[in-house]
C-alpha cells in the first residue's frame, strides 16, 4: 500500500503497470533482480521508487550521457533528489555533485560505466551508504546483444566490492542468451527474474514494397502531418538525401548520423526532442540517446539487418503508450546489399549469425503471417494468429497466387542457362526485341513474350519476391545472373505454391482503427495546453515531454481540472508537478473555458 501511495505522490500514477510492483517489492526486500521489459514498459519507476523507500543513495549505471541528463531532469521534476556524473560535467559541477552526495542529499546518482572503470572508484563508493545498484540497458554487457560495450564488463566488480547490496539489472532486449550473460557477468544472486511480454500493443506494423522510396516516405508523413517521427536509413548518404528531400517538400526534417560533427548531431537531436522539428532522418547510430515519449511513427527506408534491431528501432515509437505506426519499406535489392556485405565477412561465426538474421528479417517482411506474431516468436513468446493491428491482420494486404508468373520467370532463367541478370530475363518474358535478344536468339524461347500482358515493374516485383522467398538468387560473383535454388525448382515443377502479397492501394487508411479517441477530446484545448507546456519547458531549459507527456495533456483535456484536487486526478500528475505546473495549466483551462 505504501508503494502505491508513493507512486501517486511522486509519479502521479494510480496503478502499477504489469511487473512493476513485483520488481519494486523484491528490491526493497533486498533481492537481486533481472528484468526484461519492453521499451515504454516503465523501467525507470522500478528503480526510482525503491530508491525513495531506502535510506541512502541508489547508484544507477546508464550508458549514454545524453540520456542521463534527461533522466535526471525528469526525476528532479518529480521532486526526487537526483544528479549525474559523467564526462560532460566541468570539474566544478562534478565537485558540487560530490558534495551533495557526501552530505547525504541525493537519492539517485547516475553514473556512466566509464566512471566505475576508473582506478579506485569502487573503493571511493564504499564510503557511501549505497542502498542498491540499478544497471540500466544491461544488454550492453553481452556480446550477443546488439549494443555491446566493453566498459560494461567492469560492472562484474560490483558484487566484489558490495557483496551485500542488491543489484537490479534492466533491459529492453530479451533473448535468453543475453539474459544468461547478464546474470552471469553481474553475478546476480538468486535473482527475481521477470520477463515481461514484449508485445507492444500500441504499435501498428506495416510492410510495403519499396518502389519510389522518397515519395512513399513523403506520402506517409503527409498522412501523419504534425506528428513526430524517425526515419531510419542504412547509409549516411541516404540519410542526407532523405532529409534534404523532405525539407524541399516543406517538411521540418533534420539528419543524424555518425559522420556529422558532434555539435550538429546534438543540436539536431535536441531540436527533435524539443518538438522544434517533426522528423529526424537517421542511421541506427541514433536511438539510445532518445528519451522522447511522443514519437508517433518510425519508418525504415531500408531492410534492417536483424529482427532485434528492427524491434529496438520501432520500439522508439509510442513510448507514452499512445498508438503509433511502424512502416518498413523493403526490396529484393536491400537483401542483396546486405548479402554483399555478409559475403565479405571473414569471421565464420559472425557470418553465420548475420546470414540467419537476414533470413529471419526478410521472411518477416515477405511471408503472409501476422507481423506481431513473428516478432513475438523471435523473443520466444507465443503470439495470436490475428493481432488486429498489423497490415496482414487488417486485410490491408491480399494474398495472390502468382505461381504461373513465377514459372514464366524461372523457366526463362533455366532455359538461358542461368547466365543472365534480371533486366534481360524481364525483356525475354515481356517479348522485347533488343540487340541482346537477337544476338542470343532468345526469341526462339518458349517463354519469349509469354508475359507481354504485364508491365516490366510487375515482373521486377515477381523477381524481387522470388529472391525474398529464397526461390532464386542473384549471383553477385557472376554479373548478377539469376539462378534457381531448390525451392525455386519445387515451384517451377508445380510441387510448391508461390504467393505474393498485394497491397491495397491506400493501405495507410487501415490506420483509422487506431486514431485513438480523437473525437473524445477538444483539439483546440490540446493546442493551448501544448503551448503552455512549451513555454514552461523553455523557461526551465528542459524538453516538453519532461513537463508532461502528450498522454497527460490529453487526459487533462478530458478531465479539464479547475482546481488542485482535480488536477491531481490527471494521470501523470504527482505532488511535485502539481506545485510546479498546476497553476499555469489550471489558469489556461479556466481562460479557455471562459471563466
Ligand atoms: P522504459 O524506460 O521502460 O522505456 P519509462 O520508464 O521511460 O519506460 O516509462 C515510459 C512511460 O510510462 C513514462 O512516461 C512513464 O512515466 C510512464 N509510466 C511508468 N509507469 C507507469 C504507471 N504505473 N502508470 C502509468 N504510466 C507509467
Ligand atoms: Zn497481426
Q: Which among 12, 42, 75, 169 is the best mutation to test ligand 1's pocket, defined by most ligand atoms within 8 Å of the CB?
A: 42
As a whole number of angstroms, the distance between CA 201 and CA 446 comes to: 51
- Are 462 and 555 in a shared domain? no
Rounded to the nearest angstrom, the distance between the alpha carbon of 21 and the centre of ligand 2 is 30
Residue 168, pLDDT > 60, answer yes
Which atom of ligand 1 is found nearest the CA of 293? 14
Which atom of ligand 1 is found nearest the CA of 41? 3
- Are 273 and 362 in a shared domain? yes
Residue 57, pLDDT > 60, answer yes
SS (H, E, C) 237-278: HHHHHHHHHHHHCCCCEEEECCCCCHHHHHHHHHHHHCCCCC
Instruction: Give Cα 184 to chain centroid, integer Å.
Output: 27
Residue 262, pLDDT > 70, answer yes
Rounded to the nearest angstrom, the distance between the alpha carbon of 366 and the centre of ligand 2 is 13
Domain extent, residue 383, equals 203-395
Closest CA to 357 of 390, 288, 310, 317: 310
- Ligand in nearest proximity to the CA of 77: 1
- Ligand in nearest proximity to the CA of 510: 2
Is residue 421 a part of any domain in this protein?
yes
pLDDT band per the 50, 70, 90 thresholds, residue 458: confident
As a whole number of angstroms, the distance between CA 337 and CA 344 comes to: 11
Residue 184, pLDDT > 90, answer yes
Higher pLDDT pick, 478 / 585: 585
Residue 1, pLDDT > 80, answer no
Higher pLDDT pick, 525 / 290: 525
Is residue 151 a part of any domain in this protein?
yes
pLDDT at position 384, please? 80
Residue 356 contacts by C-beta under 8 Å, 6 or more apart in sequence?
A: none
- Atom 15 in ligand 1: which residue has the minimum CA distance? 42
Domain count, the chain: 4
- Atom 9 in ligand 1: which residue has the minimum CA distance? 42
pLDDT band per the 50, 70, 90 thresholds, residue 515: very low
- Ligand in nearest proximity to the CA of 373: 2
Rounded to the nearest angstrom, the distance between the alpha carbon of 574 and the centre of ligand 1 is 14
- Are 177 and 88 in a shared domain? yes
Mean pLDDT within 81-88: 92
Please give the DSSP secondary-structure letter assigned to residue 151: G
pLDDT at position 81, please? 96
**Bridge partners, 84 (sequence order):** 110
As a whole number of angstroms, the distance between CA 358 and CA 356 comes to: 5
Rounded to the nearest angstrom, the distance between the alpha carbon of 520 and the centre of ligand 1 is 23
Mean pLDDT within 410-429: 94
Query: E-strand spans in 302-378?
Result: 324-330
- Atom 23 in ligand 1: which residue has the minimum CA distance? 16
Rounded to the nearest angstrom, the distance between the alpha carbon of 502 and the centre of ligand 2 is 16
Mean pLDDT within 146-170: 90
As a whole number of angstroms, the distance between CA 391 and CA 479 comes to: 36
- Ligand in nearest proximity to the CA of 38: 1
Is residue 301 a part of any domain in this protein?
yes
Return the percentage of the chain with pLDDT > 90, whole number: 58
Mean pLDDT within 68-75: 90
pLDDT at position 574, please? 93
pLDDT at position 564, please? 92
pLDDT tens, position by position, 293-310: 899 999 999 999 889 889
- Are 7 and 29 in a shared domain? yes
Mean pLDDT within 210-220: 91
Assign residue 458 the CATH number of its domain.
1.10.10.10
- Atom 5 in ligand 1: which residue has the minimum CA distance? 42
**Confidence (pTM):** 0.69
Assign residue 528 the CATH number of its domain.
1.10.150.80
As a whole number of angstroms, the distance between CA 547 and CA 210 comes to: 39
Rounded to the nearest angstrom, the distance between the alpha carbon of 284 and the centre of ligand 1 is 24
As a whole number of angstroms, the distance between CA 570 and CA 568 comes to: 5
Please give the DSSP secondary-structure letter assigned to residue 504: P
Residue 243, pLDDT > 90, answer yes
pLDDT at position 371, please? 93
pLDDT tens, position by position, 8-28: 999 999 999 989 999 999 999
As a whole number of angstroms, the distance between CA 442 and CA 590 comes to: 79
Mean pLDDT within 274-291: 82
Assign residue 9 the CATH number of its domain.
3.40.50.300
Rounded to the nearest angstrom, the distance between the alpha carbon of 514 and the centre of ligand 2 is 14
Is residue 384 a part of any domain in this protein?
yes
Average pLDDT, the chain: 89
- Are 497 and 578 in a shared domain? no
- Are 234 and 270 in a shared domain? yes
- Are 7 and 22 in a shared domain? yes
Please give the DSSP secondary-structure letter assigned to residue 390: B
Which atom of ligand 1 is found nearest the CA of 172? 3
Q: Give ∠ CA 303-304-310 in degrees, rounded to 5.
A: 125
Which atom of ligand 1 is found nearest the CA of 13? 24
- Are 117 and 10 in a shared domain? yes
Rounded to the nearest angstrom, the distance between the alpha carbon of 465 and the centre of ligand 2 is 21
pLDDT at position 396, please? 65
Residue 512, pLDDT > 90, answer no
- Are 177 and 29 in a shared domain? yes
**Of 395, 418, 447, which residue sits at a domain end?**
395
Mean pLDDT within 460-481: 87
Is residue 125 a part of any domain in this protein?
yes
Mean pLDDT within 376-385: 84
pLDDT band per the 50, 70, 90 thresholds, residue 287: low
Ligand 1 interacting residues, C-beta cut-off 6 A: 13, 15-17, 20, 37, 39-45, 293, 319-320, 549
pLDDT at position 212, please? 87
- Are 360 and 249 in a shared domain? yes
Residue 92 CB neighbour total at 10 angstroms: 7
Around ion ligand 2, residues with a beta carbon closer than 5 Å are: 370, 372, 387, 390, 393
Residue 167, pLDDT > 50, answer yes
Rounded to the nearest angstrom, the distance between the alpha carbon of 404 and the centre of ligand 2 is 28
pLDDT at position 312, please? 87
pLDDT band per the 50, 70, 90 thresholds, residue 508: very low
pLDDT at position 514, please? 37
Q: Give how far Cα 552 sits from Cα of 103, 357, 376, 529, 532, Å.
A: 35, 39, 29, 10, 13
Query: E-strand spans in 126-185?
Result: 130-135, 167-171
Rounded to the nearest angstrom, the distance between the alpha carbon of 78 and the centre of ligand 1 is 13
Residue 307 contacts by C-beta under 8 Å, 6 or more apart in sequence?
A: 357, 360, 361, 364, 374, 375, 378
Residue 288, pLDDT > 60, answer no
**Of 157, 178, 195, which residue sits at a domain end?**
195
Biggest distance spanned by C-alpha atoms of the chain: 90
> What is the edge-to-edge ordering of all strands in the sheet holding 253-256?
203-209, 324-330, 295-300, 228-232, 279-282, 253-256
Is residue 41 a part of any domain in this protein?
yes
As a whole number of angstroms, the distance between CA 549 and CA 136 comes to: 22
**Bridge partners, 502 (sequence order):** 398
Residue 172, pLDDT > 90, answer no
- Ligand in nearest proximity to the CA of 374: 2
Backbone torsions φ then ψ of 111, nearest 5 degrees: -130, 145
- Ligand in nearest proximity to the CA of 199: 2
Q: Which among 36, 45, 67, 288 is the best mutation to test ligand 1's pocket, defined by most ligand atoms within 8 Å of the CB?
A: 45
- Atom 20 in ligand 1: which residue has the minimum CA distance? 42
- Are 407 and 471 in a shared domain? yes
Is residue 509 a part of any domain in this protein?
no
pLDDT band per the 50, 70, 90 thresholds, residue 6: very high
pLDDT band per the 50, 70, 90 thresholds, residue 520: low
Higher pLDDT pick, 82 / 507: 82
Which atom of ligand 1 is found nearest the CA of 11? 16
- Are 130 and 229 in a shared domain? no
SS (H, E, C) 110-123: EECHHHHCCCCHHH
Which atom of ligand 1 is found nearest the CA of 37? 3
Residue with cell 525513495: 52
Closest CA to 88 of 72, 106, 102: 72
Is residue 510 a part of any domain in this protein?
no
As a whole number of angstroms, the distance between CA 44 and CA 63 comes to: 14
pLDDT at position 513, please? 36
Rounded to the nearest angstrom, the distance between the alpha carbon of 391 and the centre of ligand 2 is 7
**Of 195, 228, 249, which residue sits at a domain end?**
195
Which atom of ligand 1 is found nearest the CA of 38? 3
Residue 505, pLDDT > 70, answer no
Amino acid at each position: 500500500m505504501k508503494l502505491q501511495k508513493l507512486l501517486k505522490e511522486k509519479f502521479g500514477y494510480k496503478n502499477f503497470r504489469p511487473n512493476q510492483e513485483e520488481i519494486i517489492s523484491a528490491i526493497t526486500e533486498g533481492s537481486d533482480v533481472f528484468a526484461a521489459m519492453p521499451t515504454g514498459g516503465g523501467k525507470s519507476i522500478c528503480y526510482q521508487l525503491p530508491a525513495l523507500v531506502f535510506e541512502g543513495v541508489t547508484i544507477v549505471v546508464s550508458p549514454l550521457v545524453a540520456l542521463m541528463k534527461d533522466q535526471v531532469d525528469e526525476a528532479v521534476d518529480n521532486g526526487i533528489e537526483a544528479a549525474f556524473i559523467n564526462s560532460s560535467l566541468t570539474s566544478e559541477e562534478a565537485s558540487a555533485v560530490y558534495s551533495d552526495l557526501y552530505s547525504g542529499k541525493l537519492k539517485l546518482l547516475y553514473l556512466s560505466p566509464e566512471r566505475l572503470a576508473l582506478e579506485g572508484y569502487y573503493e571511493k563508493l564504499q564510503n557511501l551508504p549505497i542502498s542498491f545498484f540499478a544497471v540500466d540497458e544491461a544488454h550492453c554487457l553481452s556480446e550477443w546483444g546488439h549494443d555491446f560495450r566493453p566498459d560494461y564488463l567492469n560492472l562484474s566488480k560490483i558484487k566484489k566490492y558490495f557483496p551485500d547490496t542488491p543489484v537490479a539489472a534492466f533491459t529492453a532486449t530479451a533473448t535468453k542468451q543475453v539474459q544468461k550473460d547478464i546474470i552471469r557477468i553481474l553475478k546476480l544472486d538468486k535473482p527475481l527474474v521477470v520477463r515481461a511480454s514484449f508485445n507492444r500493443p500500441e504499435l501498428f506494423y506495416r510492410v510495403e514494397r519499396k518502389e519510389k522510396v522518397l515519395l512513399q516516405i513523403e506520402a506517409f508523413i503527409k498522412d501523419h502531418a504534425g506528428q513526430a517521427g524517425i526515419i531510419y536509413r542504412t547509409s549516411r548518404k541516404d540519410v542526407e538525401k532523405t532529409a534534404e528531400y523532405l525539407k524541399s517538400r516543406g517538411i521540418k526534417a533534420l539528419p543524424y548520423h555518425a559522420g556529422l560533427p558532434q555539435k550538429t548531431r546534438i543540436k539536431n537531436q535536441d531540436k527533435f526532442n524539443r518538438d522544434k522539428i517533426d522528423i529526424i532522418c537517421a542511421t541506427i547510430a541514433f536511438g539510445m540517446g532518445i528519451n522522447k515519449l511522443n514519437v508517433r511513427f518510425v519508418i525504415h527506408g531500408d531492410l534492417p539487418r536483424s529482427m532485434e534491431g528492427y524491434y529496438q528501432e520501432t520500439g522508439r515509437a509510442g513510448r507514452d503508450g499512445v498508438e503509433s505506426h511502424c512502416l518498413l519499406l523493403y526490396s529484393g535489392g536491400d537483401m542483396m546489399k546486405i548479402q554483399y556485405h555478409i559475403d565479405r565477412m571473414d569471421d565464420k561465426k559472425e557470418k553465420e549469425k548475420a546470414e540467419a538474421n537476414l533470413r529471419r528479417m526478410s521472411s518477416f517482411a515477405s511471408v503472409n503471417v501476422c507481423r506481431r506474431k513473428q516478432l513475438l516468436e523471435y523473443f520466444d513468446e507465443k503470439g495470436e494468429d490475428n493481432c488486429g493491428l498489423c497490415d496482414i491482420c487488417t486485410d490491408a494486404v491480399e494474398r495472390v497466387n502468382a505461381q504461373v508468373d513465377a514459372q514464366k520467370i524461372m523457366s526463362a532463367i533455366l532455359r538461358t542457362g542461368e547466365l543472365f541478370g534480371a533486366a534481360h530475363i524481364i525483356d525475354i518474358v515481356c517479348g522485347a526485341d533488343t540487340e541482346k535478344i537477337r544476338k542470343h536468339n532468345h526469341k526462339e524461347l518458349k517463354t519469349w513474350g509469354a508475359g507481354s500482358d504485364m508491365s516490366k515493374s510487375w515482373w521486377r516485383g515477381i523477381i524481387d519476391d522470388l529472391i525474398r522467398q529464397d526461390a532464386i538468387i542473384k549471383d553477385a560473383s557472376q554479373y548478377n545472373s539469376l539462378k534457381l535454388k531448390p525451392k525455386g525448382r519445387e515451384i517451377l515443377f508445380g510441387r510448391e505454391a508461390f504467393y505474393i502479397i498485394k497491397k491495397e492501394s491506400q493501405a495507410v487508411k487501415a490506420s483509422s482503427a487506431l486514431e485513438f479517441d480523437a473525437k473524445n477530446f477538444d483539439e483546440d484545448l490540446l493546442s493551448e495546453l501544448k503551448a503552455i507546456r512549451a513555454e514552461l519547458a523553455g523557461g526551465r531549459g528542459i524538453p516538453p515531454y519532461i513537463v508532461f507527456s502528450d498522454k497527460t495533456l490529453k487526459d487533462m483535456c478530458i478531465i479539464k481540472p479547475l482546481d488542485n484536487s482535480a488536477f491531481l486526478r490527471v494521470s501523470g500528475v504527482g505532488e511535485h508537478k502539481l506545485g510546479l505546473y498546476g497553476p499555469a495549466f489550471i489558469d489556461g483551462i479556466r481562460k479557455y473555458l471562459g471563466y
